[in-house]
Structure 1
Amino acid sequence: MLKMLSGIIEQAWRGGAFRSSSASGRSLRQPFFSRLRAKYDAANTTLDNMKHWSRADGLSAAAANSTDVRRTLRNRSRYEVANNSYARGITLTLANDVVGTGPRLQMLTPDDAANRFVEAEFFAWAEAVGLAEKLRTMRLARVSDGESFGLLTSNERIDAKVKLDLRLIEADQVASPTLVADRSRYIDGIQFDADGNPITYDVLREHPGDVTFTIDEEFDTVPAAAVLHYFRCDRPGQIRGIPDITPALPLFAQLRRFTLAVLAAAETAAEFAGILYTDAPANGEADSAEPFEPIELEKRMLLTMPGGWKMAQMKSEQPSTTYAEFKKEILNEIARCLNMPFNVAAGNSSGYNYASGRLDHQTYFKSIRVEQTQLARVVLDRLLSAWLREAILIEGYLPNSLRTLDSTFEHQWFWDGHEHVDPAKEANAQKIRLANHTTTLAIEFARQGRDWETELKQRAKEVSLMRELGLSASDETETKPSTKVTEDNAEDTARAA
């Protein structure tokens, strides 16, 4: 073995794999290919960090989010959301901010009359099936379960011409039944093709946690075209979701433990009304008293103590001065994994001014827009496509310009706008943007979740009626934008800095 290794090295020398270089007047033979040794502190395993990194692994996304791991995370996150007031409030606030009162459709085809018809009919169908409530439920499920599934079904009891319905199921029901034979590219109840696209979903007819669940595990194989799978993909190759509050689960437990510990300490201190003590030495001149003997004291009475004895009231040192600060810091850390600012998570903006509130909300609102875009792509666009396919089958229902599946129906979704902290400043800033042509009415109305064409038509009707009644229209009065906005914003920015 050594002779073979020596021969390889000698052949490399002769072949020019090493070259000569001159340094400091001397000829040194150095290897042509030098090995670079890079060192990272985080890659070193020491006695100090060995325990901390002991659970790190190299599992794939599918293996790391195995069935048992996801089940444990779901159960624990559901428990916290059900029993922790902060966890419940945070999840409800997030669902309300993302979905709001529900999305509104705007069709963008060349036929304006057809657009208005489809918008009105789709809105009526969405109200009939409770689409806004179901979307909020799906967002809540993603926080606590990590994912949500919706089945496109037919419901004859829907009060609309299109009988399409969206039936929500929990993540526990999409699983691999024990009765299913092993198949290739089949993971957690989902069958994939060679390109990684889902083909079918196996859905248990009964929830595994239901009392009516039987060991037979009856299931239905549903085609992927009829299933909406809503989750956040954090790693390449991830096929199932984990709860959004997974990193905060230990923090929620610590928050509850600390609160209960402070309360228990305060109650323990309050249970003792007072204590008798003496400065006299043992066997001294103080009167004898039985140790640990309780004494009932009457309220608002002046009492005499045994000779040589004094009474002192117990001092309650709970809650400590760091109690509020600890809750604030841990709640801020909890909300960070949801891109939610502290004042929104806590429902308390007492420590904020105008500028700091706006600055914290910018990141939060950007996250909301990202989530709304994903919800529109994964759920709403597929719902609209399925609704149009069902509507086309109804004779004489849709306008002729839309009665073909080959057409590309351009559209967009409007969501509820976010109310400004100071409406007067925002209105003035909006007027300045429109005056210097840095925005459009479509953009400004879209920020409020409204359709600019519908609003302008309504405004035109109002102005026309006001003129007929001899009233002055407010939009005809020219007012100059106030410069106080800039001054106030400058003061708020300076205070925030």
Structure 2
Amino acid sequence: MLKRLSGIIEQLRGGGLHRSVASGRSPRQPFFSRLRAKYDAANTTLDNLKHWSRADGLSASAANSPDVRRTLRNRSRYEVANNSYARGITLTLANDVVGTGPRLQMLTADDAANRFVEAEFFAWCEAVGLSEKLRTMRLARVADGESFGLLTSNGRLETPVNLDLRLIEADQVASPTLAPDTRRYLDGIQFDADGNPITYDVLKNHPGDGFFILDDEYDTVPAADVVHYYRCDRPGQIRGIPDITPALPLFAQLRRFTLAVLAAAETAAEFAGILYTDAPANGEADAAEPFEPIELEKRMLLTMPGGWKMAQMKSEQPSTTYAEFKKEILNEIARCLNMPFNVAAGNSSGYNYASGRLDHQTYFKSIRVEQSQLARVVLDRILHAWLREAILIEGYLPNSLRTLDSTFEHQWFWDGHEHVDPAKEANAQKIRLASHTTTLAIEFARQGRDWETELKQRAKEIAQMRDLGLTIESETDSSSEPEVTEDHAEDAEPQTA
């Protein structure tokens, strides 16, 4: 026993270290000297206790419960409806993402069939107002967090295909009964064992309608007929929350600060001046009634009681920092939407050319990501449903497309973004084409146009100009290679925006 105890004491003192090293074994440190890694963010102190008091470990479905989403929707809608900046930001985002609407390009082997489908689908899009509905869906995702579209049939359409897209608000997709949610039925959506949506329960009346009752009637719609557009931020998330959720408190702060500045200015304007004296109490100054208002006439010279002076109110607080505060808070508000400040504020007075281009690159990348999601989640579903119905119409589609088993290759074109300096962009485009670092398809796609259609149109114009004896500028241009100047050298690189 004593020998064992002496061995333990020797190890605590560091003895036995040489023996462990000599034997080839790594020395074991005493238990009290072992390192224990810590994270400052994981420590709870008196300083951060209140800040992290609302942190939780809820799942995506539990965190975005129906009550939480309803509260966020109501507040987001109120802010968008009553805040000019919130309204402008959401409208700008929807216009930049959707623009005048997507354009279809079919990529099958039959060129004639491709042109026919593109023309007919464009006519159908105009008939149903697809561009307006897509912009509405993008606006709804900002304020509601999600948007739903039902693929229905509309017999009043003046097109061979009677397919239509009927938009419904997120409030109408809900569990119609008070039964507790299960693993495969959450918030009005029923899932299979693999997590795929099977059906959606859609209330026939909006819960905000005056005649809505708790156990109102509902329709169970197959998932194949429902388009659900939202952004998934967490694994397992099945419903969306408003895009401007992090900015809602900031909108309230901006409103309060604006009202404080206005109140300070109004207070200073309401009081023409204050009567005060430097004399001590019960001194030589004439008696004056305290807090007694004195009516003053305009452009008149007045005399004050003996020992009294007149001073005017000044609105020094907080108007001096108002402009800077508004700029910083708008910049923070727009950040959750990947939108630069000058776009959110509609003011580029503090920007130079390079800063404007750099800030817009991140914004345009975000837009391309959203357009890709919109094409995959909404447009591809609509095109597939349109083709399935068109195939069933006898003699409507060309024979090469009259099969339900074909996978029709296609792509979508969106509006291009105008360059802040068209002359520099045109010269950079010319340099890229001459150096073979780009193609006509890429350059036309940046402008939201189909290169095949544009080249065919240009060929017709050149042929017509030759028939009329007009001079073609490209034939009279003596320089075959563009000159790369110092001003345009950086623009010759492939553009990301």
TM beyond 0.5: yes
Which stretch shows the higher mean deviation, 462-471 or 172-181?
172-181
Provide the C-alpha distance between the structure 2 equivalents of 1:181 and 1:306, rounded to a whole number of angstroms.
79
Name the counterpart of 1:235: 234
Provide the C-alpha distance between the structure 1 equivalents of 2:280 and 2:179, rounded to a whole number of angstroms.
83
Distance 1:253 1:313, change over 3 A: same
Name the counterpart of 1:278: 277
- Once the two structures are superposed, what CA deviation does each residue of 1:385-417 show, in whole Å capped at 9, x if it has no partner? 000001011111000000001111000000000
The 5-angstrom pairing of residues 31-430 of structure 1 reads 37-178=36-177, 184-430=183-429
Which stretch shows the higher mean deviation, 278-287 or 401-410?
278-287
Counterpart residue type for residue 294 of structure 1: P
Counterpart residue type for residue 222 of structure 1: V
Distance 1:21 1:118, change over 3 A: farther
- 1:303 is displaced (CA, Å) by 1.7
Counterpart residue type for residue 169 of structure 1: I
Counterpart residue type for residue 119 of structure 1: E
How many correspondences in the alignment? 472
- Once the two structures are superposed, what CA deviation does each residue of 1:121-179 show, in whole Å capped at 9, x if it has no partner? 00000000000000000000000100000000000111211000000000000000116
Q: Which runs of 5+ in 2 are unaligned?
A: 1-16, 492-497
Name the counterpart of 2:12: none
- 1:482 is displaced (CA, Å) by 5.1
Provide the C-alpha distance between the structure 2 equivalents of 1:431 and 1:200, rounded to a whole number of angstroms.
52
Provide the C-alpha distance between the structure 2 equivalents of 1:24 and 1:268, rounded to a whole number of angstroms.
85
Distance 1:24 1:145, change over 3 A: same
- Asked whether the equivalents of residues 266 and 319 of structure 1 are also in contact (C-alpha less than 8 Å), the reply is no
- Asked whether the equivalents of residues 201 and 221 of structure 1 are also in contact (C-alpha less than 8 Å), the reply is yes
- Asked whether the equivalents of residues 277 and 309 of structure 1 are also in contact (C-alpha less than 8 Å), the reply is yes
SS at match of 1:106: strand
Distance 1:123 1:36, change over 3 A: farther
Provide the C-alpha distance between the structure 2 equivalents of 1:196 and 1:35, rounded to a whole number of angstroms.
45
- Asked whether the equivalents of residues 104 and 414 of structure 1 are also in contact (C-alpha less than 8 Å), the reply is yes
Which stretch shows the higher mean deviation, 211-220 or 357-366?
211-220
Provide the C-alpha distance between the structure 2 equivalents of 1:376 and 1:93, rounded to a whole number of angstroms.
19
- 1:436 is displaced (CA, Å) by 0.3
Provide the C-alpha distance between the structure 1 equivalents of 2:354 and 2:339, rounded to a whole number of angstroms.
17
Counterpart residue type for residue 200 of structure 2: Y
- Once the two structures are superposed, what CA deviation does each residue of 1:167-199 show, in whole Å capped at 9, x if it has no partner? 000000000011668665100000000000000
Provide the C-alpha distance between the structure 1 equivalents of 2:224 and 2:254, rounded to a whole number of angstroms.
43
Provide the C-alpha distance between the structure 2 equivalents of 1:301 and 1:212, rounded to a whole number of angstroms.
64
- 1:366 is displaced (CA, Å) by 0.3
Name the counterpart of 1:9: none
Distance 1:112 1:271, change over 3 A: same
Provide the C-alpha distance between the structure 2 equivalents of 1:255 and 1:282, rounded to a whole number of angstroms.
44
- Asked whether the equivalents of residues 391 and 403 of structure 2 are also in contact (C-alpha less than 8 Å), the reply is yes
Name the counterpart of 1:12: none
Which stretch shows the higher mean deviation, 22-31 or 164-173?
22-31
- 1:23 is displaced (CA, Å) by 3.9
Provide TM-score, normalisation by structure 2: 0.91
Name the counterpart of 2:487: 487
Provide TM-score, normalisation by structure 1: 0.91
Distance 1:489 1:340, change over 3 A: farther
Provide the C-alpha distance between the structure 1 equivalents of 2:409 and 2:321, rounded to a whole number of angstroms.
56
Which stretch shows the higher mean deviation, 382-391 or 318-327?
318-327
- Once the two structures are superposed, what CA deviation does each residue of 1:400-452 show, in whole Å capped at 9, x if it has no partner? 00000111100000000000010000000000000000000000000000001
- Asked whether the equivalents of residues 260 and 318 of structure 2 are also in contact (C-alpha less than 8 Å), the reply is no
- Asked whether the equivalents of residues 391 and 397 of structure 1 are also in contact (C-alpha less than 8 Å), the reply is yes
Q: Is the counterpart of residue 449 in structure 1 residue 455 in structure 2?
A: no
Which stretch shows the higher mean deviation, 460-469 or 33-42?
33-42
Name the counterpart of 1:22: 20
- Asked whether the equivalents of residues 21 and 28 of structure 1 are also in contact (C-alpha less than 8 Å), the reply is no
Provide the C-alpha distance between the structure 1 equivalents of 2:24 and 2:77, rounded to a whole number of angstroms.
73
SS at match of 1:237: coil
Name the counterpart of 1:16: none
SS at match of 2:320: coil
Which stretch shows the higher mean deviation, 462-471 or 420-429?
462-471
Counterpart residue type for residue 49 of structure 2: M
Counterpart residue type for residue 143 of structure 1: V
Provide the C-alpha distance between the structure 2 equivalents of 1:299 and 1:133, rounded to a whole number of angstroms.
56
Provide the C-alpha distance between the structure 1 equivalents of 2:214 and 2:252, rounded to a whole number of angstroms.
34
Provide the C-alpha distance between the structure 1 equivalents of 2:223 and 2:258, rounded to a whole number of angstroms.
46
- 1:224 is displaced (CA, Å) by 0.2
- 1:216 is displaced (CA, Å) by 2.9
- Once the two structures are superposed, what CA deviation does each residue of 1:279-316 show, in whole Å capped at 9, x if it has no partner? 22333333222222211111111222222222121122
- Once the two structures are superposed, what CA deviation does each residue of 1:184-218 show, in whole Å capped at 9, x if it has no partner? 51000000000000000000000001112123310
Structure 1 runs, 4 residues or longer, greater than 6 Å off: 24-29, 33-36, 179-182, 488-491
Provide the C-alpha distance between the structure 2 equivalents of 1:237 and 1:335, rounded to a whole number of angstroms.
27
Name the counterpart of 2:4: none
- 1:25 is displaced (CA, Å) by 9.8
Provide the C-alpha distance between the structure 2 equivalents of 1:412 and 1:230, rounded to a whole number of angstroms.
19
Distance 1:28 1:175, change over 3 A: closer
Provide the C-alpha distance between the structure 1 equivalents of 2:208 and 2:286, rounded to a whole number of angstroms.
67
Counterpart residue type for residue 487 of structure 2: E
Provide the C-alpha distance between the structure 2 equivalents of 1:216 and 1:281, rounded to a whole number of angstroms.
76
Distance 1:252 1:182, change over 3 A: closer
Once superposed, what is the RMSD of the aligned Cα atoms? 2.4
Distance 1:312 1:183, change over 3 A: closer
SS at match of 2:319: coil
Which stretch shows the higher mean deviation, 474-483 or 237-246?
474-483
- 1:48 is displaced (CA, Å) by 1.3
Distance 1:28 1:331, change over 3 A: closer
Provide the C-alpha distance between the structure 2 equivalents of 1:208 and 1:81, rounded to a whole number of angstroms.
20
Distance 1:490 1:121, change over 3 A: closer
Provide the C-alpha distance between the structure 1 equivalents of 2:27 and 2:114, rounded to a whole number of angstroms.
79
Identity %: 86
Distance 1:432 1:489, change over 3 A: closer
Distance 1:301 1:432, change over 3 A: same
Counterpart residue type for residue 390 of structure 2: A
Name the counterpart of 2:436: 437
Name the counterpart of 2:13: none
Provide the C-alpha distance between the structure 1 equivalents of 2:204 and 2:18, rounded to a whole number of angstroms.
76
SS at match of 1:149: strand
Counterpart residue type for residue 137 of structure 1: T
SS at match of 1:22: helix
- 1:319 is displaced (CA, Å) by 4.7
Provide the C-alpha distance between the structure 2 equivalents of 1:259 and 1:358, rounded to a whole number of angstroms.
31
Provide the C-alpha distance between the structure 1 equivalents of 2:155 and 2:88, rounded to a whole number of angstroms.
36
Provide the C-alpha distance between the structure 1 equivalents of 2:195 and 2:231, rounded to a whole number of angstroms.
17
Counterpart residue type for residue 410 of structure 1: E
- 1:21 is displaced (CA, Å) by 6.0
Name the counterpart of 1:463: 462
